[in-house]
Structure formats: C-alpha cells, structure tokens
Amino acid sequence: MADQISFVLVVFTVAVALLHFIHRWWNIHGGRKRSNNEENQEARLPPGSTGWPLIGESFSFYRSMTRNHPRKFIDDREKRYNSDIFISHLFGRRVVVSADPQFNKFVLQNEGRLFKAQYYESFKTLIGNYGLLSVHGDLQRKLHGIAVNLLRFERLGVDFMEEIQSLVHSTLDRWAEMKDIALQNECHQMILNLMAKQLLDLSPSKETTEICGLFVDYTNAMLSIPIKIPGSNYAKGIKARQLLIRKISEMIKERRNHPQVLHNDLLAKLLEEGSLSDEIICDFILFLLFAGHETSSRALTSAIKFLTYCPEAVEQMQKEHDAILKIKGVHKLEWEDYKSMKFTQCVINETLRLGNFSLAISREATKDITVKDYLIPKGSMILVVLAATHLRESSYTEALIFNPWRWEPDQDVSNNVLFTPFGGGGRLCPGYHLAKLELALFLHIFVTRFRWEALGNDRTSYFPLPYLTEGFPIRLHCRQ
Ligand code: HEM
C-alpha cells in the first residue's frame, strides 16, 4: 500500500514538474518557432503572457466576454503591463491584442499593404473561399466595390426605404396580436426576411421558411465551439452551408435558363456584372446574408433593451416620432424624414457604442511593424478590439451607462477614432448606411405603435457575438 502511495506521489510530482516546464517553455517561446530577427529584438516585443499550454488565456477571455463586461480582460492586462497593446494566446493562436485607438486606425487604414484580414480557420470554413472576409487583394477590392455600390447612400432612399417600412409594419401587426414576444428571435426573423427579399427576391413563403431554418443552423455554428463531430452545432452548420449554397446555385441556374423573368434584387445585379463565377456569387451572397442579418438584428434588439431601462430617452423618442407622424399621416417616410430624426441618431450611435456588435476584428501583419517601440513581427495575428475604445472610461464618461445625450453636441462621427463600430479602411462595412436606416425606421414604427415592458431580467453575453441570453421577452401594449 505504502509502495502504491509513493508511486502515485512520484507520478504526481513528475506530472506537476512537467506541466510547469511546458508552461515556462510556452511562455518563453510563445508556442511557435521564432525567427532570428525576433530573437534579436526580443526586448521590443509587446509585453504579455501566452498563459497555459494550448488553452493560453482563452478561459479568462471567455469569462470576461460572457459576464457582461467585455472590457475586463483588457482592463486587467492594461494595468498589469501598463500598455494597451499586449500579447496573449487565444483559442489556439498567439495574438497581439490592441486596445489603442490610434494603432487600431493604423491597422485598418493599411489593409492590403501592411496587414490583411485573417480569421480563424473554422470561421473561414463556414464563410467559404469567397466570403468577403476570406478574400484579399484585387478580388476583395472588386467585391467590396460591388457591395458598396449596391448599398450606397443614394440607393437606399429608393430601393430600401419602402421595403423596410412595409416589412416592419407587417411584422409589427403580427406582434400586436401576439402581445408577448421574444424580441431577439423576432428581430432575427424580420431582418432575415428583409435580406432574403433584397438579395434573392424571396418573399415570406415555404421556401423562405426553409432557408431561414437552414440559416439558423448556419449562424448557430458561427456561435459554437468548432468541433466537427456528427451532431455538433458546427457540423450542422457546415451541412447547412452546403444546402444553402446549393439553393443559391439552383436559383442562378434557373435565372440563366429563364432570362425573361425579371428580378429586382442583388443576385440579378451580380449576374448582370457578368465577370463573376457562380462559386464567387454563391459565397458572396451567403456572406452578405450573414453579415447583413446577424449584426443588424442584434442592434435592433439591443436598442429596445437599452431604451427599456431609460424611460427619459423613450419619452424624447416618442416626441420626435409623434411629431413626424403628425405631419406624414398614413404616408410612408421619405429620406428627408429619416434625416430629420436627430435624437434617434443619438440613440443609434449610443446603441452601436454600447452594444459592440462587432467586438473585434482580426488581422495578420504582412511585414514587421514597429509601434510604440514594440516590434510586431511579420505573420503575427492582431486582434483589433473595437469594443475596448467604445467602453473606455477615459473616452466616454460612465462608459457602461446608456446615455444617448452624449452624442448631442457632435453627431458627425465620420472621423472619430474612438467610435468605429463599422471598422474602417479598405474593409469599412459596406452595410453601414443600411444598418442605420433599418434601425431608424424600426425605432420610428416601434415607438409610435407600442409601449412595452420587459418580462424578466436579461443579460448580455459578448461571446462570440453579443446576444441576450434569455432572448429578451417583452409585453407589448398598443398606443392610441
Ligand atoms: C449594426 C450593423 C453592422 C455592424 C456593427 C457591422 C460591422 C462590420 C465591421 C466591423 C466590419 C469590418 C470587418 C473587418 O474589417 O474585418 C464589417 C464588414 C462587412 N459588413 Fe458589416 N456591419 C453591420 C451591418 C452590415 C450590413 C447590413 C451589411 C450588408 C447588407 C454588412 C455587410 C458587410 C460586409 C460585406 C463586410 C465585409 C467587407 C470587406 O471585407 O470588404 N454589414 N461590418
């Protein structure tokens, strides 16, 4: 018996020593082979820790993101290293994390020159070879240009204004009958219907419901641990992607076989373009469907959640929108009405700041970069944490409080490096204006038709994308 205990103790001691040794080795070597250049410049690498072997600091990051305070992970390290640029090891990769607004701007502005978009393989598998964030160089510029052109400011006033209002009104008619709704799911469904119509000319039907079902599996996979074993969310998502691509591909064939049937949608415009292969078109459309629906629908839900706990803002919103309604009567809103919604723009900015629907974006350095006397070696993955600036106390007083009035003095945010919810540079979100238009029109119709109350408390988790853990159930009361 004593021998057995001694044996267990020896094994335990050896295991602890081995783990300790691996941990030290990992932190010194950062889990990868280093170039001579890096070894020479070791003193100048950003400070940081790569944490435990394999898991690195993923757990602390995950905890911070899921506990309603996405800045805690950054705050702790900024204090520890006295630097807002530091090294970490997250989800299997060594990364340079940046919470420095000037460096973030520099990274975004130099897309294609010093940096290139680089996301985790599991994400790239889901968006495909030609989903815009997988594409680089000339093809990215071309596809980005097409997206910007399709979603440009002037076009929204014509193509989207009416569509969005009709869809929101018909959806809210249904909500009025239901009275109690799970707002997050309902907003998801509504924006998905809108995108399906705009991209593929699909009206709510059996086919759209089927596509929506597949799309739920597809987006769930984006939010899941990427393990491809039968039955896992990730595996289901890959399957859903295959089926969605097949459906888009069949639509393309159908349209090529029947060119006389006209469609006023994005697919039609891509086919007119003539220079894109079917594979590129399918990935491009699927990515737009994902990018255009995931972030916007979360923004709509969060705007209502923030307003729920800020009755003064609801009152001011209702005044602004009742006044517009009085002038317009039953007529649909026009572009000028949208532009007159001054306080609503403040609510939208504040929702985007506090909601952080794109928490961080990811880049790879394509050359050695020096910043603040630190060397960032070529090949490093850089996590540009947009939320870090949005939630920084020194930039926004009481940064965790919803305060739309903070935007009243200065609504022009185009050159504000502290406010970048849509990224920047060569990959600035092409859906920027559309997302804001959707939010404004939705808020107009919602606050003029309803008063509402939350049914229970809800919490926001920010990993991997912000969502309300209980789906934000609310009770609606129709206004007169
Ligand atoms: C609240 C809503 C939205 C937010 C916060 C948002 C945020 C972002 C951010 C931060 C990026 C940059 C990603 C990077 O640089 O790696 C981006 C890219 C993109 N977004 Fe949005 N987005 C929103 C809505 C939309 C909508 C409505 C669409 C289209 C219908 C859209 C389409 C895209 C596309 C295609 C890209 C990729 C651009 C490229 O890589 O060239 N987004 N978005």
Signed CA dihedral, 347, 353, 354, 356: sign only: positive
pLDDT, residue 299, reads 97
Tell me if 461 is assigned to some domain: yes
The pLDDT value given to residue 344: 97
**CB 423 less than 6 A from any atom of ligand 1:** yes
Same domain for 161 and 267 = yes
* Sheet hosting strand 180-182, strand order edge to edge: 180-182, 473-478, 450-454
Do residues 412 and 386 both lie within one domain? no
Residues sharing a CB contact under 8 Å with residue 232, sequence separation 6 or more, in sequence order = 224, 225
Q: Give the number of other Cβ atoms within 10 Å of residue 34's Cβ.
A: 14
Q: Is 435 in the pocket of ligand 1 (CB under 6 A)?
A: yes
Q: What number of CA atoms fall less than 13 Å from residue 332's CA on the CB side?
A: 16
Distance 47 CA to ligand 1 centre (A): 31
pLDDT of residue 335: 92
Q: How confident is the model at residue 147 (pLDDT cuts 50, 70, 90)?
A: very high
Transcribe 196-237 into DSSP letters.
Answer: HHHHH-PPSSHHHHHHHHHHHHHHHHHTS----STTSHHHHH
Q: How far is the CA of 111 from the centre of ligand 1 (A)?
A: 15
Q: Atom 38 (ligand 1): residue with closest C-alpha?
A: 427
Cβ(291) to ligand 1 under 6 A?
yes
Both tokens assigned to 461: 């988790």
CA distance 465 to 194: 21
- Token digits for 458? 């809800």
For ligand 1, say whether the CB of 117 is within 6 Å of any of its atoms. Answer: yes
Q: Name the DSSP class of 46.
A: P
pLDDT at position 254 is 94
Q: pLDDT per residue over 423-439, tens digit each?
A: 999 999 999 999 999 99
The verdict on 352 and 283 lying in the same domain is yes
- Residue at 210 is within a domain: no
Same domain, 185 and 50: no
Whose tokens are 């459309």? That residue is 285
Residue 288 lies in a domain: yes
What's the 425 CA to ligand 1 centre distance in angstroms? 12
- The 8-class DSSP code of residue 405 comes to G
User: Is the domain of 24 the same as that of 161?
Assistant: no
Give distance in angstroms: CA of 296 to centre of ligand 1: 10
Does 253 reside within a domain? no
Q: Report the run of H or E that residue 478 belongs to, with start and end.
A: strand 473-478
Q: Are 273 and 383 in a shared domain?
A: no
Q: What's the pLDDT at 20?
A: 45
Domain co-membership, 49 together with 142: no
* pLDDT value at 21 more than 50: no
Q: What does the pLDDT average to over 116-133?
A: 93
Return the amino acid letter for 329: G
pLDDT band at 11 (very low <50, low <70, confident <90, very high): very low
Assigned token pair, 38: 């890096």
- Which residue has better confidence, 457 or 284? 284
Residues 148 and 189 in one domain: yes
Residue 41 and residue 172 share a domain:
no
Distance of CA 288 to the CA centre of its chain: 12
Rounded to the nearest whole angstrom, what is the distance from the C-alpha of residue 144 to the centroid of ligand 1?
10
Q: What is the ipTM of this complex?
A: 0.99
Residue 429 annotated in ligand binding: yes
Structural domains in the chain (count) = 2
| Domain membership flag for residue 305 | yes
Ligand 1 in reach of 360 Cβ (< 6 A): no
Gap between the Cα atoms of 380 and 361, Å rounded: 14
- Please, which pLDDT band fits residue 1 given cuts at 50, 70 and 90? very low
Identify which of 286, 420, 428, 429 to mutate to test ligand 1's pocket (most ligand atoms within 8 A of the CB).
429
Atom of ligand 1 nearest to the CA of 362: 16
pLDDT exceeds cutoff 60 at 3 = no
Q: Is the CB of 442 under 6 A from ligand 1?
A: no
Question: Which two three-digit tokens encode residue 277?
Answer: 């292969």
User: Would you say residue 170 lies in a domain?
Assistant: yes
State what percent of residues in the chain have pLDDT above 70.
91
Residue 282's CB: how many other CB atoms inside 10 A? 24
Considering the domain boundaries, does residue 140 fall inside one?
yes
Q: For residues 257 and 409, what is the distance between their CA atoms, to the nearest angstrom?
A: 56
- How far is it, in rounded angstroms, from Cα 52 to Cα 46? 18
* Cα distance between residue 87 and residue 96, in whole Å: 4
Question: Are both 95 and 197 inside the same structural domain?
Answer: no
Tell me: pLDDT of 259 over 80: yes
Give the separation between CA 441 and CA 430, rounded to whole angstroms: 19
Domain extent at residue 89: 1-101+376-390
Instruction: Looking at the CA of residue 386, tell me the nearest atom of ligand 1.
Output: 10
345 within ligand 1 shell (Cβ under 6 A): no
What length is written for the chain?
480
Is 208's pLDDT higher than 90? no
For ligand 1, whether the C-beta of 132 sits within 6 Å is yes
Q: What confidence category does residue 16 fall into, taking pLDDT thresholds of 50, 70 and 90?
A: very low
**Residue 427 alpha carbon to ligand 1 centre in Å:** 8
381 and 410 assigned to the same domain: no
- 132 Cα to the center of ligand 1, angstroms: 10
Mean pLDDT of 274-285: 93
Are the C-beta atoms of 323 and 342 separated by less than 8 Å? Answer: no
Check whether residue 380 and residue 417 sit in a common domain: no
Pairing type for strands 381-385 and 450-454 reads unpaired
Q: Which of 334, 365, 390 represents a domain boundary (last residue)?
A: 390
Q: Give a yes or no: residue 111 inside a domain.
A: no
